[in-house]
Structure 1
Amino acid sequence: MGLLQDSLDRASAATATRPLPKTAGARMRFLVRHEKGSTRQVAARLGISRRTVERYVKGTLRHPRPELAARLEQEVRKDWQPRVRARAHKRAATATGLVVETRARFGYSGAPGSTDDSRMRRITQHLPPDIAARLLDARTAGATESDLRKIVAEGLRDMYFRDRGRRAATLDEVRLTDIDYIELDF
């Protein structure tokens, strides 16, 4: 996964209203319930045997290896409270938008005679609901990391560089490269 996809996943996970299950057995039971009782699918998701999944569900095994514990938490976090996530996505796409905080290299193309040398910038900017909707729809449709970067770059072009049309009207394209970090929030 890319930086933007991971950041969207973290922002979605932060909308949870209840904490994740604490024990490995409770997490395993949650995944089995989510997969409609299929221990085979849970085992495939975690990269372990079906019998190991059954042992955690039964309570025979309690303390997973660190790498299994990390994968287990990651898989539970992906599926935790899907309706709460869907509400947050809908609210961001229709009413509130997204907040982007990034430190990245921005370059642009504009009017002849202007400089297009890229440079590192730290930007925190609110993106309106229409850009949030495009970003979330593209993520749901399976867009690549570069497609998501283009959407964020267009949003930052309109909101940060053009200041909603009040300046830099000749600014054509903003390129978002060399991302140091990026955080999205609903």
Structure 2
Amino acid sequence: MSMFGDSLDAAVHKAFTRPAPKGAPAQMRYLVRQMKGTRAVAQLLRVSQRTVERYVKDQIKKPRPDLAARLEGEVKKRWQPQVRARARRTAATTGGIVIDTRARIGYTAPVGTTDEGRLRHLTVALPPPYAARLFDAREQGAGDQQLQQIAAEALKEVYFQDSGRRAGSLEEVRFTDIEHLEFGL
């Protein structure tokens, strides 16, 4: 489970203009239309082609929990791709992204400063270049560690250094023990 990746995806899902299909038969019909056939959907979901056909015809309505999770994930991954792309593009070019987190945040700085990591609850608007970096890294399959590093760099610049107006001698921000993380567009 990817905390950063899932939070970025949830932020983009809030931009949807219509709700995704809810029931298993409707979700299965949507995937069959998207993938142009039951065989491809069966391979994707690791079920038989006959099972997919039975969902499409409403002969089965309630999938087992593991199949329900895979089905919902695949539908959300493909739902409204143009809306998703527009939301990412807007965040990466003009809007930026907001990070709301409760985590242990500290920094490396010269001797004599209060660099101890402490639990902080921050809600910070990150500029568009950091939103672009986060979305690009997510698209390229970056893991939580890499996304966490990008977010730490963004917090260093925006929160601690106030876009270059203070704390110019900070070297590195430590962003650990994350209790809560949420992104918003």
Give how far 1:28 is off. 0.2
Q: 1:37-77: CA deviations, max 9, x gaps?
A: 2x233223323222111111122222323443333222211
CA distance in 2: counterparts of 1:4 and 1:66, whole angstroms:
24
* Aligned-partner SS, 2:63: coil
Q: 1:3-54: CA deviations, max 9, x gaps?
A: 10110111111111001123322110111122222x2332233232221111
* CA gap 1:44/1:178 in 2 versus in 1, 3 angstroms: farther
Provide the residue aligned with 1:41 in structure 2. 40
Residues 20-99 of structure 1 aligned to structure 2 (within 5 Å): 20-37=20-37, 39-99=38-98
Mark the runs of 5 or more structure 2 residues left unpaired by the alignment.
none
CA distance in 2: counterparts of 1:169 and 1:45, whole angstroms:
50
Residues 1-16 of structure 1 aligned to structure 2 (within 5 Å): 1-16=1-16
Q: 1:66-89: CA deviations, max 9, x gaps?
A: 443333222211211011000000
* Aligned-partner SS, 2:122: strand
Q: Do structure 1's residue 114 and structure 2's residue 113 form an aligned pair?
A: yes
CA distance in 2: counterparts of 1:144 and 1:61, whole angstroms:
36
CA distance in 1: counterparts of 2:46 and 2:179, whole angstroms:
31
CA distance in 2: counterparts of 1:100 and 1:154, whole angstroms:
13
Residues 164-183 of structure 1 aligned to structure 2 (within 5 Å): 164-183=163-182
Residue 176 of structure 2 aligns with an amino acid whose one-letter code is: T
Q: 1:128-162: CA deviations, max 9, x gaps?
A: 00111111111111112111111101111111111
Residue 32 of structure 1 aligns with an amino acid whose one-letter code is: V
* Aligned-partner SS, 2:103: strand
The number of residues matched between the two structures is 185
Residue 35 of structure 2 aligns with an amino acid whose one-letter code is: E
Give how far 1:117 is off. 2.0
Residues 151-162 of structure 1 aligned to structure 2 (within 5 Å): 151-162=150-161
Structure 1 stretch displaced more, 131-140 or 91-100: 131-140
* Aligned-partner SS, 1:103: strand
Give how far 1:126 is off. 0.2
- Kindly, what percent of the aligned residue pairs are identical? 56
CA distance in 1: counterparts of 2:56 and 2:25, whole angstroms:
5
TM-score (norm 1): 0.93
Provide the residue aligned with 1:132 in structure 2. 131
* Aligned-partner SS, 1:178: strand
* Aligned-partner SS, 1:27: helix
TM-score (norm 2): 0.93
Residue 83 of structure 2 aligns with an amino acid whose one-letter code is: V
- What's the Cα RMSD here? 1.5
